[in-house]
Amino acid sequence: MKGEILIKNVTLVDSQGTHGQADVLVGEGRIISLAGGEAAQVVEAAGLYLSPGFLDPHAHLREPGQEVKEDLCSGLTAAARGGYTDVVSMPNTTPPIDRPEAVAALKSRARAIGQARLHPAAALTQGQEGQLLTEARLIKEAGAVLLTDDGRTNEDAGVLALGLRYAASVGLPVAVHAEDAGLRRGGVMHEGEVSFRLGLPGNPAYAESARIARDLEVVRYLTEELGVRAEGHSLLHFQHLSTRRGLELIRQAKREGLPVSAEVTPHHLTLTDRYLERLEPLYKVAPPLRTEADRRALLEGLLEGSLDCVGTDHAPHTADEKELDLLRAPFGIPSLEVAWPLLYTELVEKEGFPLPTLLERFTDGPRRLLGLPPIRLEEGAEASLVLWAPRLKRPVEPRTFASKARYSPWAGWQLQGWPVMTLVKGRVVFADLLDYRP
C-alpha cells in the first residue's frame, strides 16, 4: 500500500519504552506500516525520536475576547510547534465559555485553522460565578471535554458537590483551581522567606492544601455516601499542583482509591520562588512558584504517578502587561512551545528522570483524565505523532514564538529535544527539519 509520508530510520519511543528503529509509513490518517513502503514524502529521521502526539489538558488560548493576548490560530500553531496534537482550552475567556453554542463555535473555528486539535473545556458554573450550573449535557454534545471554573476558585463546596454529581452523570470530568481565596488574600508570590524579604504580598502553600483537603472530602462524600461514579474518566481533577503538602494529600487520597487526578506545570517543575528575587513580573504566576522542597516533591509526584500529567497552564499576556510592576502585572507564563524540550532537558537529561514516564505524563496521562485511550506506535494506530530531536540543542528564543506572548522565563536556556515535526491524523501541521542535521 502506498502511503503519504515515510519517516525513515526513526527511533520509536512511547510511554512503554523505546522500541528500536522503524520506517514508519503513514497514510489516510493512520500508521500503515512500521516496515517502510512507498510514499510521496520521505523524511530521513535517523537520530530522531517518534512519539505519540502530546495532549495539553490546560491551556489558555484567550479566544474569544482577549485576542490581543492570543487567539485560536496563534495558540494552536504554538501547540503544534510544541509537539502537541491536542489541546484543552480553558473557559475563562471574555465572556466565559459557558454555553453549548460557544463550545461549538470554538470547535468549528479550530477545525478551520487545522493546527493542533482543540478540545474546549467549559465553565462548571454560569459566568464562572460559582453559583448556578451550566448545561453540562448540551455542552458535552457540543464538543466540550471538561468542566472547570479555572481562573476562579470554587468557593462554595455545595455548588462543587452538585457540579461533580451532575458532570459525572453526563460523563464529563471536572477540574478545579484549588486555592482558598481567603488564605491567598492578595498574594502575588509564594509566602515565605523570599516574599518577606522582598516585601511582596504572599500566598501561603496552605492556601492550596487547605482547599485540596476540603475538595477531597467532597469527593469522599459523593463516592462513599451517594455512590457517585465517574465512568472511564477522572471525577475531580486538580489543576497545576504547586505544593508538597497538596501533593501529599492527593497521594493519600489516591491510595485510598478516590477517583481523582492531578497535573503539574513545566514552571512548577523547573522554577522556584527564588527567581522572584530578580523582581521581574515574568515569574508571576498562579499558583505561585514555590520552594525548592516543593519543586522536588512535585518531581517525585510526577515520577510515581500521584501527578498524572503535565499541563502547561499556558497563560499568554501582552508584553506591556508583563512589564507592569509585580503588584499589577497579570499572572501567567506562556509555555506551549517549550514544555517538552524544557522537561526533557531539565528532567530526563539533567535529573535522570525516565523518558517513558515523562512521555506517559504528556500522552497517556492526560488522555486518561478525559477518558481517551492511549495512542500506541503500531500499525493501524491513529497517526497523531510528534517527531523530535533529542540531540538538537538550541536556546529558547521568545521572539520566534508562534504564540503572541513573546517572552519567557526560560529565554536563553539551552534546551534539547525540540519537536521538528507534528502530525495530526497523518497531516503535517508543523515541520522544521532545517535545524536538524542527521
Q: Nearer to Zn ion by C-beta: 299 or 333?
A: 333
Binding partner of residue 200 among Zn ion, another protein, none, CB cut-off 5 to 8 Å per kind:
another protein
Question: Does 313 participate in catalysis according to the annotation?
Answer: yes
Q: Nearer to another protein by C-beta: 225 or 320?
A: 320
Active-site option among 71, 313, 432, 435 = 313
Q: Nearer to another protein by C-beta: 78 or 329?
A: 329
Q: Nearer to Zn ion by C-beta: 370 or 385?
A: 370
**Smallest separation (angstroms) from Zn ion to the CB of 176:** 9
Q: Nearer to Zn ion by C-beta: 106 or 175?
A: 175
**Smallest separation (angstroms) from another protein to the CB of 195:** 8
Cα–Cα distance between 176 and 219 in angstroms, integer?
A: 12
Binding partner of residue 280 among another protein, Zn ion, none, CB cut-off 5 to 8 Å per kind:
another protein
By beta carbon distance, the residue nearest Zn ion is 177
**Smallest separation (angstroms) from Zn ion to the CB of 44:** 42
**Smallest separation (angstroms) from another protein to the CB of 291:** 13
Cα–Cα distance between 210 and 249 in angstroms, integer?
A: 10
**Smallest separation (angstroms) from another protein to the CB of 410:** 18
Binding partner of residue 391 among Zn ion, another protein, none, CB cut-off 5 to 8 Å per kind:
none
Binding partner of residue 198 among Zn ion, another protein, none, CB cut-off 5 to 8 Å per kind:
another protein
Binding partner of residue 150 among another protein, Zn ion, none, CB cut-off 5 to 8 Å per kind:
Zn ion
Q: What are the residues binding another protein (CB under 8 A)?
A: 192-193, 196-200, 278-281, 320, 323-328
**What are the catalytic residues?**
313
